[in-house]
Amino acid sequence: MDNIDCAKQKIRAVIAGSQVPEDPRHADNTLEWLLHLEPDAGDALQLAALAHDIDRAIEEVKVRREDFDDYDVFKATHARHGAELLRPILTACGVARDITDEACRLVVVHEVGGEPQANLLKDADSISYFDVNLPLYFQREGWDETKRRSHWGYRRLTPRAKDIVKHIDHEDEELARLLREVIDEGVS
């Protein structure tokens, strides 16, 4: 097994321990969407896609939403903490320092983007939220919180990613209606 495969396996093992049921699927789905958006994505970007929410997987140390008044500050803290958790995994697997540094940098900026690689990761993460996280998030959080979180996620998408989300179809009619409302209100 090479260094990158070792890192991916260890990241998946950590995320498998998450108490958030959609986290393992979201990690792999984010990587899938990244490769859909950018088939030639490098190792650092792929590792960041898989590990971007690793913070949520370790219950004892994860950053908790209820500890923050500002959602964006919560998300930024979650991202920084995720990078701190990722670095020792990559180092233990012998991943080259430049790839490790870039993967951790991308995890730090995955919520906000700001440059092409970070924007790809942000889009893949957000598309995956609408693709696989939305049903379970809705079951757990209800209509109002899911709609608020979905507005936040939809607003941060690039036009290309918004077009992809417009074509996501959930079988559950209530969920489909919520997504349509978010998209319609995001266009206005």
Which CATH number is associated with domain 3-187?
1.10.3210
Query: Do residues 116 and 127 touch, judged by C-beta distance below 8 A?
Result: no
According to the model, what pLDDT value does residue 159 have?
A: 95
pTM of the model: 0.94
Residue 59 has pLDDT above 90, yes or no: no
Residue 8 in this model has a pLDDT that exceeds 90:
yes
Average pLDDT over the chain, rounded to whole?
Answer: 95
Beta strands in the chain (DSSP E): none
Across the range 32-44, mean pLDDT stands at 98
15: pLDDT strictly greater than 60: yes
Determine contact, residues 90/82, Cβ cutoff 8 Å.
Answer: no
Average pLDDT value for residue range 43-62: 95
The residues spanned by each domain of the chain are 3-187
Structure confidence at residue 68 (pLDDT): 94
**Residue-level pLDDT at 188:** 54
Q: Any idea of the CA torsion for 161, 163, 167, 172, to the nearest 10 degrees?
A: 70
